[in-house]
Every structure is written in C-alpha cells, then in structure tokens.
Amino acid sequence: MSAFDSAAIRAEFPGLKTDKGQDWHYLDTAATAQKPQAVVDAVARAMGEDYATVHRGVYARSANMTLAYEAARRTVARFMGAQTADEIVFVRGATEGINLIAQSWGGENIKAGDRILLSQLEHHSNIVPWQMLAERAGAHIDVIPLTEEGKIDLEAMAAMIRPEHKLVALAHVSNVLGSVLDVRRASDIAHSAGAKILIDGCQAIPRLKLDMQAFNCDFYAFSAHKLYGPTGIGAIYVRKEILDAMPPWQGGGSMIDRVTFEKTTYAPAPTRFEAGTPAIIEAMGLTAAIDYVERYGIEAIERHEAALVAKAREALSSLNSVRIFGPQDSAGIISFEVEGVHPHDAGTILDEEGVAIRAGHHCAQPLMDYLGVPATARASFGIYSNESDVEALVQGIERVRKIFG
C-alpha cells in the first residue's frame, strides 16, 4: 500500500460510511477525529477479554493491565519527545490538564500583581482557567495580538513580556485559523523574562512532529480524541523538576503514599496527579491510535493535509463572496464565511450534500470579536481526507451561494 492509498485508508475508518453505505465527507476532524478499526478493536479488547483494574490487583490479569497502562505512558512520552515517562500525566483531556496546571502549579506560583500572557486566538480552555486563577490570586491577564495573516505576533510578545509575567499560555495550532506557532521561539521569549510557558497542543498532536526537549516548553497538553483515539483521555507533559514540585490537585485512591486521620503523604509524580481508577480502556485506545499514526508517519500526514488545504484554499478563493480567514500555510484547517449567509445555514446545506463541517464560534469567542464576525464555517482535514472531500465541499458551497444568491 502506498503512503496514502485513499481508498484503503478510508476503509479502515468505519465511521466514514453512512447508514446507506455511501461515502461521508467528514470535514470536522478539528473537533474530533474519526477512529480507525485498530483503535475500535483495542478498546473492545481492553473492555473485554483483557479487562482488569490497574495498580491494585495481585492477580495476573491486573498485573498485565498495569504493565500495559504504564507502557501507554511510555508510548506517549516517546511520541511527544519527552525526556522520561515520569513527565507524562494522564488526564481526561486537554481541558482537565490545563485546569490541573492552573490549580496546582498556578495556585502555588501566581500571586497578587503577577501577570499571565495569552494570545488573541486561544480556545476557551486556554483562557477561562487562567481567568479563574487570576481572579482568585489578584493577577492580571494580557493578550498578544495577531499578525496581519493571523499568527500569534511573537515580535509583539517580545515587546510586551516583562518580569511580572509568570506564565505564557499559547496554542501550537489555532483551532480556527490553523496558524502554527514557532514553539521554540515563544519558549525562548517567555524564559527570557523568567516566565513558564504552556502550549495547547490539541490541533498539533495529529499532524505535527513534537519534541518537548527541542521545544523547551514547560507544559504541553493534548486530547486523545483529536489523535484518532478515544474520548475521555489526554495527557499533559510537565518538565520533571516542575512536576516534582507541584502539589496534588485531587485526592483519593492511587495518588497516596500513606493515609491516616492525622496526616496523608502522597505518591511521587506523576502518580499523585492521577487520583482514582484511571481511564484504563482509553489508555489502550490511545496507544493503538499512536501506533496507527506512526504506521504512516506524522510527517507524511502533515504533507498530505497540507496538499488538501492548498487545494481547498485555491478552490474557495476562486468563488465570489467567500472570505477565507487565516494564513496560507494553515495546518489542516480552513475557516471561511459566505457573504450574507450565517455559517449555521451553510453547515446545514452542506450536511444535505453529505459534507460535515463545523459552524459557530469554535470556543474562541474573543477571536470572533477580533475578526469582526459572530461565527465562521470551518473545514478540517485528517489522514482519511482526500480530494473528493474538497470537491464535495466546493460543490456544496456553490449550492449555498445559489440558494442565498
């Protein structure tokens, strides 16, 4: 099979067929990716013949599942380019991971008068936890503007940052514009002022090669369901010396060393951040998803998606009354509007044509305000996308224009 044998890859994703067996043009991968059969099978196996709890049982199946669960942590660490698996904490998703960092590290390190630096294009999950922290601590939030093409303006960031900034939190890839951040440069700017930096990697994880050591960031968060894996699990990378110093966030089973009514002592990191029975089944699905992506190669996936984005941008640009947002080199995502048509209406008509897109503010209302629109339509691509998806999208938009023309 060639690197991207379109028919063969699509056949590996049971969700890409309609109930009538027709092809479904799924262009909402930025919201959640479809799952290959390999992931479905891994989840079913973990829920069935392999199932047992982890970390507690002395019987063989529990011991085997514990080994598999910790192997999943090592797989994530390798995939992210972390120095050690002890820098990886499993969470329910990036949202929980960012909240964990805000509550634990932030609660210890953000004080009255401190400042937090965000950007104009952040997802609500990388805004609201910091607002809540700032309100509790008496800290302040500053916002980095965007360049004309829709990227985080790192020149402006360098001019804005000062010693009062204790944390910078930025998206690696915008979930609306698809613009890509130079993470290493952003990290260097943050560290030059003594700030820590957190990267929201949800849109980067399925299409860009990660290297935590080269990026030199302090925190990195992602959700597995964007990476062709199951919902209900994600991971955060935290630089080991930072993680080791962070207090626990939630209390319960597994995260303890010794409990008495007088005092509780806690397990070392990362265990002390994983209270209760973990997402065992989902961890097996995440491992299978990483194995699947590595089968094709993340660089090959990036090239494949880039070619489709270029084709779609060119086709949409040729249509009158269609406005495209974001840079030419957007990663896997195109946001647009059809003049005089609400994105929800466009999305409904496209659905009638068998094309699934996202329409709305994409949990990025400050960015919508910045762009001067209430919402956008968004088409996003994945490993299973092909030229027929682009053609169906363009044909659907042409129908939208005719209806509202």
Dump pLDDT digits (tens) for 93-137: 999 999 999 999 999 999 999 999 999 999 999 999 999 999 999
What residues contact 254, with CB distance under 8 A and at least 6 apart?
55, 56, 267, 271, 274, 275, 276, 277, 278
Statement to judge: residues 48 and 24 lie in one domain = no
pLDDT of res. 95: 98
Statement to judge: residues 22 and 151 lie in one domain = no
pLDDT band at 320 (very low <50, low <70, confident <90, very high): confident
Q: How many domains does the chain have?
A: 2
Statement to judge: residues 167 and 84 lie in one domain = yes
Statement to judge: residues 145 and 235 lie in one domain = yes
- Cα–Cα distances (Å) from 77 to 195, 279, 398, in that order, read 24, 17, 45
Assigned domain for 140 exists: yes
Which residue numbers are catalytic?
A: 363
Assigned domain for 359 exists: yes
Using one digit for the tens of pLDDT, what is the confidence trace for 169-183? 999 999 999 999 999
Assigned domain for 1 exists: no
Supply the DSSP symbol for 55: S
Assigned domain for 35 exists: no
Assigned domain for 199 exists: yes
Statement to judge: residues 191 and 48 lie in one domain = yes
Assigned domain for 385 exists: yes
Statement to judge: residues 271 and 313 lie in one domain = no
Using one digit for the tens of pLDDT, what is the confidence trace for 301-318? 999 999 999 999 999 999
Model confidence, pTM: 0.97
Cis peptide before 36 (omega within 30 of 0): no
Q: Give the domain extent around 335.
A: 6-30+297-404
Statement to judge: residues 26 and 122 lie in one domain = no
Using one digit for the tens of pLDDT, what is the confidence trace for 203-231? 999 999 999 999 999 999 999 999 999 99
Supply the DSSP symbol for 276: S
Statement to judge: residues 287 and 392 lie in one domain = no
pLDDT of res. 21: 66
CA distance 232 to 238: 20
